[in-house]
Chains A and B, each alone.
Chain A
Amino acid sequence: MSGAFAGRALKHGMDAVSRCSRPQFQRLRTQKPAFKPAVRSFTASTRAWEKKYTEDHEWIELSSDGKTGTIGISTYAAKALGDVVFVELPTLDLEVSAGDSIGAVESVKSASDIMTPVSGKIVEANSVLEDTPGKINKSPEGDGWLAKIEMSDAKEVEKLMDADGYRKFTEEADGH
Chain B
Amino acid sequence: MALPGLAPRALRPLREATPACRPSYRTISARACPQPRRVILGQTTVIGAAGRKTDPIRPVPTQGLLQQRRQQSSTATPAPTFYTEEEPGRTALYDLHLKHGGKMVEFGGYSMPVQYGDLSITNSHNWTREKCSLFDVGHMVQYHCDGPGAESLLETVTPAGLKDLAPGQSTLSALLHPVTGGIVDDCMITRLEEGPKHLFYVVTNAGNRKKDYDFFNAAIEKWSDTMNPYVQLRHLEAEGQPFGLVALQGPLSAEILGAALSSACKVDVSKWYFGNTKHITLALPSGESLPIVASRGGYTGEDGFELSIHPSQTIEATEQLLKVGSEDNLRMAGLGARDSLRLEAGMCLYGHDIDDSTTPPEAALNFIIPKHRRTADDIGFHGAETIIPQLTPVSKGGKGVSRRRVGLIVEGAPAREGAGVVSQEGKAIGTVTSGCPSPTLKKNIAMAYVEDGMHKSGTEVQVVVRGKNRKATVTKMPFVPNKFYRGAM
A interface, CB within 8 angstroms of B = 10, 13-15, 17-18, 21-22, 82-83, 85-86, 88, 101, 104, 106-109, 111, 113
Contacts and interface: CB of A to CB of B under 8 A. Distances in A.
Interface in B439-489: 439, 444, 466-470
18 contacts: A10-B416, A14-B467, A15-B467, A17-B466, A18-B466, A18-B467, A22-B412, A22-B470, A82-B120, A82-B336, A83-B122, A85-B437, A86-B413, A86-B414, A104-B413, A108-B121, A108-B437, A111-B416
A21 B469 contact: yes
Interface in B326-342: 336, 339-340
Contacts, number: 60
Contacts of A111: 414, 416
* Most central of B115, B413, B466, B467 by chain A CB within 10 Å: B466
Interface in B302-351: 336, 339-340
Nearest to B416: A111
A108 B416 CA distance: 10
Contact of A21 (B120, B125, B437, B468): B468
B436 interface: yes
Given A106-B414, A108-B336, A109-B436, A83 B120 contact: yes
Given A108-B125, A108-B336, A17 B414 contact: no
B122 A82 contact: yes
Nearest to A22: B412
A22 B469 CA distance: 9
Contacts of A85: 122, 414, 437
Given A86-B413, A113-B466, 12 more contacts: A14-B466, A22-B412, A22-B468, A82-B120, A86-B414, A88-B413, A106-B414, A106-B437, A107-B122, A108-B336, A108-B340, A111-B416
Nearest to A25: B468
A83 B468 contact: no
Contact of B467 (A17, A106, A108): A17
Across the A-B interface, give the 9 residue pairs with the lowest CB-CB distance, nearest first: A14-B467, A85-B437, A83-B122, A18-B468, A18-B467, A108-B121, A83-B120, A109-B336, A82-B120
B114 interface: yes
Contacts of A106: 413-414, 437
B436 A108 contact: yes
Contacts of B122: 82-83, 85, 107-108
A82 B121 contact: yes
A107 B336 CA distance: 11
Nearest to B466: A17
A88 B466 contact: yes
Contacts of B466: 10, 13-14, 17-18, 88, 101, 104, 113
Contacts of A104: 413, 466
Contacts of A15: 467
A22 B468 CA distance: 8
Contacts of A10: 416, 466
Nearest to B444: A86
Nearest to B438: A108
Contacts of A83: 120-123
A108 B444 CA distance: 10
A18 to B, nearest CB: 5
Nearest to A9: B416
A83 B337 CA distance: 12
B470 to A, nearest CB: 8
A82 B468 contact: no
A82 B467 contact: no
* Most central of A21, A106, A109 by chain B CB within 10 Å: A109
Nearest to A88: B413
B413 A109 contact: no
A157 to B, nearest CB: 26
B107 to A, nearest CB: 12
A166 to B, nearest CB: 21
Contacts of A13: 466
A2 to B, nearest CB: 8
A107 B122 CA distance: 9
* Most central of B114, B121, B123 by chain A CB within 10 Å: B121
A101 B114 CA distance: 27
Contacts of B439: 108
A32 B300 CA distance: 47
A22 B396 CA distance: 42
A113 B467 CA distance: 13
A109 B467 contact: no
Interface in B406-437: 412-414, 416, 436-437
A97 B351 CA distance: 36
A101 to B, nearest CB: 8
Interface string B112-142: 0011000011110100000000000000000
Nearest to B470: A22
* Most central of B336, B339, B439 by chain A CB within 10 Å: B336
Given A17-B467, A83-B122, A104-B466, A109 B414 contact: no
A65 to B, nearest CB: 32
A86 B437 contact: yes
